[in-house]
Every structure is written in structure tokens, then in C-alpha cells.
Amino acid sequence: MIALLRYQAVNLFRSHRWILPLICYVLLISVGGVGAGSSAVPAYLRAQTLADGLDWSAAILVPVVALLTRSMLTAEPAAARACVSAATGPARAQLATLLVAFAAGVVLAPVGASYELVTAGHKTALLLPFSEGLAKALTCILVGSAVGTLVNPPLIRHQAVALLSTIAAIVVAWVSSISPANAALHGNGATIQSSAWPAGVPMLAAFALVVVSWGASCWLAGGRGG
């Protein structure tokens, strides 16, 4: 499995398909994280407190990880995947691609959170919001991964449909009240209204979503057969 992960990670890096998600991440972080003092940015986009900034950096992980997952699921040519599948089975090969996209999200999360920490307006009581922010980021990575997995091959094979559903699913994950990412972000009442979800439930729900979506993706990976 380690050999598979290494192969997929190098494949992602060399395919340059990580560039678009990374640019999205950097742009969104910098827009959301512009200091409270700047009047060039509308008030609703300013990160006024560290908690706000951390919420923002976690929230944008949903689309970024969804796009990374899409990149991974479409990066490997079918025949190359077939060669790998013969050695390891299609399910393990699929799991490795999903894990690499997930890991890329895990690498990005502390980078964004640290940026928020550095640029935060009010530097009081840093540690608690920071660790809470990372927990929210993990929930958002899980949701992003589940979303990216559910609306891309092998679950949705039509290219245009997959792309459009990726965008739609990201929006749903952001705004709908049944989304664990949404619940996590509203959990402490920092940004909008407080959520009805008890603490810890959003992350568990996000984890369950990942198990279901990854399971389906791995199960279907051998369906079309390369």
C-alpha cells in the first residue's frame, strides 16, 4: 500500500493537476484573510477575529479537497490503472488515489490555519481557537473528499455531468443545514447562527460520509475494467 501511495502521490505531483486547487486555496485564503484594517475589502469578507479566519480557512478546504479528489480520480490513464489493478486489485488502487487527495488536504489545512494565526486582528487566547479551527478543517477535508468522490468517476462517469455536479455538491456542502461542514462551521456561533448539531457530531457525520463514498468508489472501481 505504501508503494501505491507513493506512486499516486508522484503521479499527482507530475500531472500538475494540483495547481488549480492550490491556486483556488491561496486566492480564497488571501481574500478571506485580508486584515481587519483594510477598507478595500467589504466588511463581510474581512476576518475580524481569529475564529472567523480559521472558519474561513476550513470552509475553503471543502472545494479545494473536492477538486483535488477529482484531479486524482481522473489523473491516471485507464490502461496504467489496469496495470496497477492487476498487481493490487482495483479497490486498493482506488483507495490509494483517494487517500493521496485526502492527504494533500491534510497538508494544506495547517498552512492555511497558520496564515490566519499570523494575520489575525486580535491576538488573544490563540491556542484554543487554533485547535478548534484544525478540528473544523478536518471535518471540511472529510466532507470535501466525500463530495469529490461521490460526484466523479467511477460513481459518475459522464465528464460534463461530473464537473457540474462537483460544483453543485460543493455549494450544497457549504450552505445546506444537513451538511456536516456547514454544521461544524456554525458550531460556535462565530460566523452566522449557531447550529443545532451537538459538538463532535459534524466530524462523525463527515467521517461516515467518507466511509460510505470511499467504499462505493472502491467497490465500483473494477466495474468498467480499465
Partner 1 sequence: MRLDAVGKRYGLRQPWIVRNVSQEVAAGRLIRLEGPNGSGKSTLLKMMAGVSTPSAGKVIGRPHTGYVPERFPAALGFGVREYLQHMARIHGLAAADAGTAVGEWLERLGATDYARAPLRTLSKGMCQKVAIAQALLSRPGLLVLDEAWTGLDQAARGALDAAVADRLSAGGTVLFVDHDPARLADRVDERWQLAGGMVIVVAGGAGAARAPAQATVIVELAGVEAASLPALAQLDGVLAVSGGPGIVGEPVTEPGLIAVTIRQAESDALLRELLTWDGVHVAGLRPAQAGPGQHRTGR
Nearest to 166 by CA among 184, 137, 187, 144: 144
User: Between 12 and 41, how does the x/- string for binding to partner 1 read (CB under 8 A)?
Assistant: -xxxx-------------------------
In the complex with partner 1, the residue whose CB is nearer, 122 or 157, is 157
Distance CA 200, CA 112 (A): 22
> CA torsion 192→197→199→204, rounded to 10°?
-120
Q: Which is nearer to partner 1, 4 or 60 (CB)?
A: 4
Question: Applying CB under 8 A, does 88 fall inside the site for partner 1?
Answer: yes
153 near partner 1, judged by CB under 8 A: no
Please pick, from the candidates 80, 134, 155, 163, the single residue that binds partner 1 as defined by CB under 8 A. 80
Map residues 35-74 to x or -, x wherever contact with partner 1 holds by CB under 8 A.
Answer: ----------------------------------------
Q: Does 3 bind partner 1 (CB under 8 A)?
A: yes
Nearer to partner 1, 3 or 211 (CB): 3
164 binds partner 1 (CB under 8 A): no
Quick one: 175 exposed, middle or buried, by C-beta within 10 A (0-12, 13-18, 19+)?
exposed
Q: Per CB under 8 A, does 11 bind partner 1?
A: yes
Burial of residue 43, with CB atoms counted within 10 A of its CB: 0-12 exposed, 13-18 middle, 19 or more buried: exposed
Q: From the centroid of its chain, how far is CA 78?
A: 25
